[in-house]
Amino acid sequence: MNIIEKYNIEIFTDKTYEVGSAENTNKYDSEYLEAENKYNSTFVGIKIYENKQLIKSAIIGSEGGNSGISENSKIIEKNRILICCADKIFCLSFPELNLLWKTKADQISCFEIFKKDNFYIVHGETEISKLDENGMILWQKGGADIFTTISGKDDFELNEKYIIATDWENRTYKFDYDGNEFTDMKQFPWNK
């Protein structure tokens, strides 16, 4: 449970949810699902509580690779929540939970999202993406394999000046925040 001012926010993978079923354990005020096709691989429930009273709820769903909720798969800001859900990033108003935008940020699955200055960096399975505050893709970069390692640890890092991503074959990629890739540390302008 996340606490922001007077609100408690619960964000969870709803593994029992079925589209259109009256038997769903959780009921939601709003549903933001993939209407263009009937397949959603991941469902994420969001519930907002004030004084232990549920005041708003929503479910989001998307196609692509199955994803879960982790520390870095969501960002809660003063007036909105961003969540990785399968191949998309959803942005909902907070605390109303109205859909502001959704962006397909990876071909398969979005693992993590990070805020940097006035933009977001998305660690996807096949792509690293930079989004502006309105969800527009500013650039995307792919690699020779998926951006995760066998252990799933230490495969993605943001620092002051660049992004480091490691793929399945342990190849390391370095990008600056303008999307330029550096294959040799000598190329980094701050190393000169």
- The pLDDT score that the predictor gives to residue 11 is 96
| Residue 90 to residue 87: CA distance in whole angstroms | 10
Which residues are 92's β-sheet partners?
81, 99
Query: What does DSSP say about strands 74-76 and 2-4: parallel, antiparallel, or unpaired?
Result: unpaired
Query: Is pLDDT above 70 for 148?
Result: yes
Lookup: tokens for 42: 């991941």
- The pLDDT score that the predictor gives to residue 94 is 96
Q: Which residue has 């196609």 as its token pair?
A: 63
- The pLDDT score that the predictor gives to residue 146 is 93
CA dihedral 160, 81, 74, 6 (to 10 degrees): 100
Q: Which region among 34-43, 79-88, 175-184 has the lowest average model confidence (pLDDT)?
A: 34-43
Query: Is pLDDT above 60 for 192?
Result: no
Q: How far apart are the first and last CA of the chain?
A: 45
| Residue 50 to residue 107: CA distance in whole angstroms | 37
Band (pLDDT 50/70/90 cuts) for residue 161 is: very high
Most confidently predicted of 4-13, 20-29, 96-105: 96-105
- The pLDDT score that the predictor gives to residue 150 is 86
Top-confidence residue, 29 or 39: 29
Average pLDDT over residues 95-118: 96
State what percent of residues in the chain have pLDDT above 90: 74
A 10 A CB-CB count for 84 gives 29
- The pLDDT score that the predictor gives to residue 152 is 76
Of the candidates 7, 183, 181, the one whose C-alpha atom is nearest the C-alpha of residue 94 is 7
Query: Is pLDDT above 80 for 92?
Result: yes
Query: Is pLDDT above 70 for 108?
Result: yes
Domains defined for the chain, CATH in brackets:
2-191 (2.40.128.630)
Task: Tell me the residue ranges of DSSP E strands in the chain.
Answer: 2-4, 7-13, 30-32, 42-50, 53-62, 74-76, 80-85, 88-93, 99-104, 110-116, 119-124, 127-132, 137-142, 156-158, 162-166, 172-176, 181-182
**Structural contact between residues 189 and 165, judged by C-beta atoms closer than 8 angstroms:** no
Backbone angles phi, psi at 187, to 5 degrees: -75, -20
Q: Which region among 36-40, 98-102, 146-150 has the lowest average model confidence (pLDDT)?
A: 36-40
